[in-house]
Chain A
Amino acid sequence: MSAATTDTANPRKPYVRPISKTSWFLTSARYKSYMVHEVSSIFVALYMIQLVAGLFYLAAGPEEWESYLAFLRSPVVILLTLVGLVFFVIHTTSWFKAVPQATRIMRGEEVLPGKILVTAHYGIWAAVSLFVIILAWVA
């Protein structure tokens, strides 16, 4: 081999570790849970489609609306809706959890504690839900 101090040959050969484009998320528990979380949003999307479809049926007339309601009452759809609800709650809570990271509000000399922000979000969520339930009750 050449002496250390001549630059006839560059001995560098950096090694790049391969990363799989399709299975990278299997390499750590953190990535797996992230992917499960992301994939589960499909159920949230399904529920959204179902909700939007309801609007179309409503617009199409009473008979169509009734058939839509019948569809909702089928056990498979109820199950899917429940699953959707569970993931809705999970995504909502994880979204709320991220709020203090994404917004930084100063109160005097201090950053407003994340807990207050998160609690406020839950409070608003509860209030809106209550309002909707009351509305449904009255209607």
Chain B
Amino acid sequence: MRVETADIIIVGAGGAGLRAAIAVAEADPNVSIALVSKVYPMRSHTCAAEGGAAGVIKSNDKLDYHFDDTVAGGDWLTDQDAVELFVNEIPKELTQMEHWGCPWSREGDGHVAVRPFGGMKIMRTWYASDKTGFHMLHTLFQTSLKYPSIKRFDEFFTTDLLVEDGRCGGITAIEMRTGQLRTFRGKAVIVCSGGAGRVFPFTTNGAIKTGDGMAMAYRAGVPLKDMEFVQYHPTGLPGTGILLTEGCRGEGGYLLNKDGYRYLQDYGLGPATEKPVLKAMELGPRDRLSQAFWHEEKKGRTIPTKWGSVIHLDMRHLGEKLINERLPLVRDLSRNYVNADPVTDLVPVRPVVHYMMGGISTDINGATTVDGLYAAGECACVSINGANRLGSNSLGELLVFGARAARHAVEYVKTARPMTDAAATAQASDVENRIAALYKRTSGKERVPALRQQMTMSMEEGCGIYRDEVSLKATCDVVAEVRARFKDVALEDKSYVYNTDLFQTLELGCMIEVAQALVVSAIERKESRGAHQRLDYVQRDDVNYLKHSMAYYNPNGDPRIDYLDVVITKSQPAERVYGAAAGGQVTA
């Protein structure tokens, strides 16, 4: 088997992976980097982030305000040391992006402009019209081309981490265009593989977001933290789940039920004012907005369509000029996909799965419980998002923690002992045998698309915006059944060149592990907090559950769930306050 070597191997070339690669290259140009990704960097899902990235820069803002918004937004399940560090570092990271050429939208005097975002007390979200993630990704990718120490392996599908005695020494990855397995040996591995929204059927997430990195680390013994917290974005297009940014509401869009009524005022977010008020109404946090939709649907006040119930996003009063300047992608998507022009029409929307607050458990340096193994970005859980992420904190997170993990890894590799050849070879050949067996298997009756559909539909039914013991147990059983039946899947395509049947099969294997960790963590958390809402335990329970869930892999059954204390430094758990009581300012 061909072996590649590098000091640091980065899995995933989206925002976090590219930021990490550049940080390594800048910290020490002599540290060699292998940047391994199953897609070309510019296809990574960071490109789909629209609204912006929050960072304190304006004179009316304070780091403490961003800290408070983030901690309260996360329903106090955030680690406050991590949040403090995050809000401190993000303005520098965003300025660094500016220095690399990111086309941030500007004020008249040439300074970077900010827009309002949900759950944020002050306008602090930097944006590049409504294509912020796209511009950040391309800026990072194009900038990364400057550094000779970054060697890219585009379209290499990472299958496993190589771990010996609690120390990570590389990965195995399939070169997608030859089908050949390769070993990548290194002293540190940074997993930046993104989220796992595809374990649900309706999601803003692209096809590639199948939780591969999460599953890889999980199988290698690293716990997945707080997996039960799944963010539904309040405004996805029905059917396709395509994202319409929170910026629509930040700029002043309304959410209307079937009677044309701004129903959010019935859910503690009012009063309904004409101009948007920060932390109120449509600028409330995503969990509250998605939950309000669920209640409206139960009351029969949503609009039924062939793609499920919808409510309306009304942007007509914003005017064509503003929409063209600040929300051009939203206009393009709405006109094309639902035949509604936001300038003149109401746009049908509904909550769809958007983001995983949980992920690979790391410390504030991105380090995991396995030496030399780091994680950053959506696949990781540093715990700045807690039980509910505020919109525009994720683009900042991938920069801050991508760079931090990288710098820490650069220090780590100076003294790290490499993995032994014997162990690396043995583990790589196990992977080789496993894939060869998958190719040879002919008796399988199970089909990947059918299993995937059965599992994802069950996740939506039993593990959605609201859950209870019965629904979760039912989903848990389905996931366990799918996991058992997955062993009986045979490839229908036995070729080696760009075999997408093979990759979808491997991805489904990852999705099943992630789904199981998610649903079992949800069953065990017998309280309601942030995005995890239990109909049978409606209150937040700080006595028993002011703790992170830690799911440990079990090859033969449900994961073991353990708990880890939340880090609280200066903000004691309190009520989350939105609407009039939050005292937010009018934005415009």
Contact = CB atoms under 8 A, between A and B. Distances in A.
A3 B432 contact: yes
Interface residues of A, number: 9
Contacts of A5: 1, 174, 179-181, 431-432, 435-436
B175 to A, nearest CB: 9
B500 interface: no
Contacts of B435: 4-5
Contacts of B432: 3, 5-6
Contacts of A13: 497
Contact of B2 (A4, A7, A11, A12): A7
A11 B436 contact: no
Contacts of A12: 177-178, 497
A16 to B, nearest CB: 15
Contacts of A10: 178, 180
B496 interface: yes
B439 interface: yes
Residue in B174, B181, B496 whose Cβ sees the most chain A Cβ within 10 Å: B496
Interface in A1-49: 3-7, 10-13
A11 B1 contact: no
Interface string B158-184: 000000000000000010011111100
A36 B319 CA distance: 44
B426 to A, nearest CB: 14
B548 to A, nearest CB: 38
Interface string A82-115: 0000000000000000000000000000000000
B109 to A, nearest CB: 12
Contacts of B174: 4-5
A110 B502 CA distance: 50
Interface in B386-442: 431-432, 435-436, 439
Interface residues of B, number: 18
B326 to A, nearest CB: 14
A86 B48 CA distance: 49
Contacts of A6: 1, 180, 432
A91 to B, nearest CB: 34
Contacts of B181: 4-5
Nearest to B181: A5
Nearest to A10: B178
A84 B496 CA distance: 59
A4 B1 contact: no
Contacts of B1: 5-7
B439 A11 contact: no
Contacts of B180: 4-7, 10
A4 B506 CA distance: 14
Nearest to B429: A5
Contacts of B177: 12
Residue in B1, B174, B178, B180 whose Cβ sees the most chain A Cβ within 10 Å: B180
Contacts of B496: 4, 11
Contacts of A4: 174, 179-181, 435-436, 439, 496, 502
A7 B174 CA distance: 11
A110 B495 CA distance: 54
A65 B180 CA distance: 80
Nearest to B108: A109
A4 B491 CA distance: 12
Nearest to B325: A109
A12 to B, nearest CB: 6
A129 B496 CA distance: 68
A4 B177 CA distance: 11
A7 to B, nearest CB: 4
Interface in B453-496: 495-496
Contact of A11 (B179, B182, B502): B179
Nearest to A4: B179
A10 B179 CA distance: 9
Contacts of B502: 4
Nearest to B179: A4
Contacts of A7: 1-2, 178, 180, 182
Contacts of B179: 4-5, 11
Nearest to B498: A12
Interface string B1-27: 110000000000000000000000000
Nearest to A3: B436
Contacts of B182: 7
A12 B498 CA distance: 9
B157 to A, nearest CB: 12
Nearest to B436: A3
30 contacts: A3-B432, A3-B436, A3-B439, A4-B180, A4-B181, A4-B435, A4-B436, A4-B496, A4-B502, A5-B1, A5-B174, A5-B179, A5-B180, A5-B435, A5-B436, A6-B1, A6-B180, A7-B1, A7-B180, A7-B182, A10-B178, A10-B180, A11-B178, A11-B179, A11-B495, A11-B496, A11-B497, A12-B177, A12-B178, A12-B497
Given A3-B439, A12-B497, 15 more contacts: A3-B436, A4-B174, A4-B439, A4-B496, A5-B1, A5-B431, A5-B435, A5-B436, A6-B180, A6-B432, A7-B1, A7-B2, A7-B180, A7-B182, A11-B179
- What 3 pairs between A and B have smallest CB-CB spacing? A5-B181, A5-B432, A3-B436
